[in-house]
Amino acid sequence: MQSLIELESPSADLTACSQVVELTNEMLFSRLGKKGRVITVSSRDHLWWGSENPKVLLLGHIDTVWPIGTLKEIPFAINGDVLTGPGCVDMKSGVVQAIHAIAQINHPDIALLLTTDEEIGSETSRKLIEDAARSAIAVLVLECAQHEALKTARKGTSNYEIVAHGLASHAGLEPEKGINAGLAISEIALSVSKIGNTELGTTVTPTVIRAGTTTNTVPALAQLSIDVRAWSIDEQKRVDSEIRAISSTLPGIKIEVLGSINRPPLESRMSMGLFELAQEVAKDLGLPQLENAQVGGASDGNFTAALGIPTIDGLGAVGTGSHAKSEWVSVSAIVPRINLLAGMITRLLKAN
């Protein structure tokens, strides 16, 4: 685990991602006796180990949000029950746990798929994930637990950029000849923020605004980034329609809408059967009763659930602090979670 965490692998660094794929493949060979296939999509490497048509797919990623050099600030360390280091909880510990769980079983109908672009939207890996999952009776996602709870629902995510096109002019000499794209995008940001639905848990959040070039020029161009989260695909479609209908009241402004629905929701109906199985396994292992949680963040499990394949998340590390410098993993929970995962895989394969 230390070697995996200490090999920094930010999503945007293709060389670093290739290196972490290579290291993980060596770990697979060392522990499981064979390497996986390195699959390159648009110059980005991903790693597929095991069956080409798995009955049980273990799904994770080995990229992180942390830039190269973070290790100097947050070094790998173990202090009592607390393990730290960039990407430890999200989700390199979960990857190591999965390798050890597979080692307990040695069954030909298992696959482990590890991608390197999850943190930036899974653009190159989505089709790979969907292809890997199509033959599966279950997808077990190795993201961290929600405290100790398994994740049985995740919101779907959509990402948009609205571009306002105006006309530049001198802000002091001829401001009236300009068409202010900055004003237009500010107006649109207010309108967009009202599209959400608190009762349904739908959030539509303007995040980044860019406008203008100099302090004495009427902005000819302005851009607004929008983050959308929703529990249902119907809500995602509603928001998509309303965002695409956005206009400006300022004469002469032209509006361009970029982006779309990214990850559909992971709905609880796709997870609850697997959660009940996890509870049974935990009870038989003498582990504390498992709880489940619904979370706003999405994962690659959203893709597989949308295909109609039973999917459950949160089977990786126990800990907190994803994407934060306070990120940590509970050392004492590592072995119990390995055994839980192995037990679930065994029962799924036996039932099949």
Sequence ranges of the chain with CATH classification 3.40.630.10:
2-155+265-351
36, exposed or middle or buried, with CB in 10 Å at 0-12, 13-18, 19+? buried
Sequence ranges of the chain with CATH classification 3.30.70.360:
157-263
**Would you identify the CATH topology of the domain 157-263?**
Alpha-Beta Plaits (3.30.70)
**Rounded to whole angstroms, how far apart are CA atoms 151 and 272?**
10
Q: What is the pLDDT of residue 348?
A: 98
CATH number for the region 2-155+265-351 comes to 3.40.630.10
- Span between the terminal Cα atoms of the chain, in Å: 32
Dihedral of alpha carbons 295, 297, 301, 302, sign? positive
Tokens 């029950």 label which residue? 81
Tokens 């080409």 label which residue? 52
Q: What is the pLDDT of residue 21?
A: 99
Q: What is the pLDDT of residue 352?
A: 79
**Rounded to whole angstroms, how far apart are CA atoms 196 and 198?**
6
**Rounded to whole angstroms, how far apart are CA atoms 336 and 97?**
10
- E-strand ranges in 80-174 read 82-84, 110-115, 138-141, 150-154, 156-165
Per-position pLDDT tens, the chain of length 352 = 999 999 999 999 999 999 999 999 999 999 999 999 999 999 999 999 999 999 999 999 999 999 999 999 999 999 999 999 999 999 999 999 999 999 999 899 999 999 999 999 999 999 999 999 999 999 999 999 999 999 999 999 999 999 999 999 999 999 999 999 999 999 999 999 999 999 999 999 999 999 999 999 999 999 999 999 999 999 999 999 999 999 999 999 999 999 999 999 999 999 999 999 999 999 999 999 999 999 999 999 999 999 999 999 999 999 999 999 999 999 999 999 999 999 999 999 999 7
Q: What is the pLDDT of residue 132?
A: 98
